Amino acid sequence: MLKKEQWGIALNNYFNRTGNIEIIFLGSESDFETAEDIIQYCRTLSDRPTYINHCGKLTFNQSIAFLATSDEFIGIDSGLLHFARILGVQCTSFWGPTDPATRLKPFPGLIESIYYRKVPCSPCVHVSEVPPCNGENICISCLYDNPNTCFSSLEVTAVINGNKESYLKLGKSR
């Protein structure tokens, strides 16, 4: 899970874009307050784009239908990410302890950016009840913190398409 400050960094690219940019948060009712915190934090960084919090307001099927009309998905490794990929929606994903190479099938023509840094304790959530970092999320912090404090280089796969529409939807669910 990304912290609100990390979401601010991730969404920074959308703060100065022109056009009608909306970032829509999708998730369960339990995600609502977290999404509100992220939205409030991002609003302190820029008055653009527009944010809408749909967490807990849509059924899962409605969220998937919403994804199908999206220009882009930005989120963590989640069910919504995998549905967005299947639907062919441009994706930017941030990965914690799970190596995306073990969970993602290549889709020809899919435009996506994958952010992941392998750390020695990965994939802790699949092999231990208590993470070695005690929940400090070293694997996520390594995506944002000083790279010298982490154990290996950031692996980034990115294909950029500058011709996308400026209406965006952000998915966040776990």
SS3 115: strand
What confidence tens digit (pLDDT) does each residue in 4-21 have? 888 888 887 777 777 788
Distance of CA 105 to the CA centre of its chain: 18
Architecture of domain 4-171: 3-Layer(aba) Sandwich (3.40)
Q: SS3 of 83, please?
A: helix
Domain range annotation of the chain: 4-171
Share of the chain above pLDDT 90, in %: 36
Mean pLDDT of the chain: 76
pTM of the model: 0.74
Token readout for 64 is 């998937």
Strands annotated E in 27-118: 50-53, 72-76, 90-94, 112-116
What is the CB-side half-sphere exposure of residue 11 using CA atoms within 13 A? 36
Q: What is the pLDDT of residue 140?
A: 67
Q: What is the mean pLDDT of residues 110-126?
A: 77
Question: What confidence tens digit (pLDDT) does each residue in 61-91 have?
Answer: 999 999 999 999 999 889 999 999 999 999 9
